[in-house]
């Protein structure tokens, strides 16, 4: 689904879950959630979606609602895992770009390493726009900022990534 396409027809929670759960998990992963933290945040988000299903199925922007709740659940799960001193470092290959067969493993790792060097808001805006195909209106809603601010975060992230590639590879931007 690209930013210009309409959301999937939601006829029931199962359809909603099947449509949005993979995108939710990719979003959480891009935010930095790993292993148990990702699972806990994703599960808590979908449980909240089920509890709010009567309202959510009529929501004009269910993906933005879902990502906003997921960001809150991620923060809560991360704090709980830190309190319990559980490690949240990734033990397996990053899954963010798994469905893009045109990108090599090394390129994926290189991009993910660079994404992690970006400030959180820039990274989040860029991932939602470029990797999850969300329009700036939805990004702004998820991040709780103005549309112009969401655009600025994504633009700064793109510029910073281009600079990182130029600096590390001796290329030009």
Domain ranges of the chain: 1-92, 102-173
List the Cα angle 68/114/63 in 5-degree steps.
20
**90-124 tens-digit pLDDT:** 333 344 444 555 666 677 677 777 887 888 889 88
Q: Which CATH number fits domain 1-92: 2.60.40, 3.40.50, 1.10.3470, 1.10.1740?
A: 1.10.1740
How far apart are the C-alpha atoms of 24 and 9, rounded to whole Å?
Answer: 17
CB 131 within 8 A of CB 97: yes
Stated pTM of the model:
0.58
**30-89 tens-digit pLDDT:** 777 777 788 888 999 999 999 999 999 888 989 899 999 998 888 777 767 655 554 333
The CATH class of 102-173 is mainly alpha
């Amino acid at each position: 689904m690209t930013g210009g396409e309409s959301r999937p027809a939601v006829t029931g929670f199962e359809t909603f879950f099947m449509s949005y759960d993979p995108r939710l998990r990719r979003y959480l992963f891009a935010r930095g959630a790993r292993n148990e933290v990702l699972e806990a945040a994703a599960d808590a988000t979908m449980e909240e979606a089920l509890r709010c299903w009567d309202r959510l199925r009529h929501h004009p922007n269910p993906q933005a609602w879902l990502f906003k709740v997921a960001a809150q659940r991620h923060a809560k799960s991360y704090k709980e895992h830190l309190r319990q001193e559980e490690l949240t470092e990734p033990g397996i290959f990053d899954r963010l770009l798994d469905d893009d067969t045109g990108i090599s493993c090394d390129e994926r790792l290189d991009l993910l390493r660079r994404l992690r060097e970006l400030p959180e808001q820039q990274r989040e805006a860029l991932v939602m726009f470029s990797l999850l195909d969300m329009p700036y209106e939805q990004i702004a809603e998820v991040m709780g900022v103005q549309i112009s601010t969401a655009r600025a975060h994504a633009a700064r992230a793109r510029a910073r990534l281009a600079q990182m590639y130029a600096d590390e590879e001796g290329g030009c931007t």
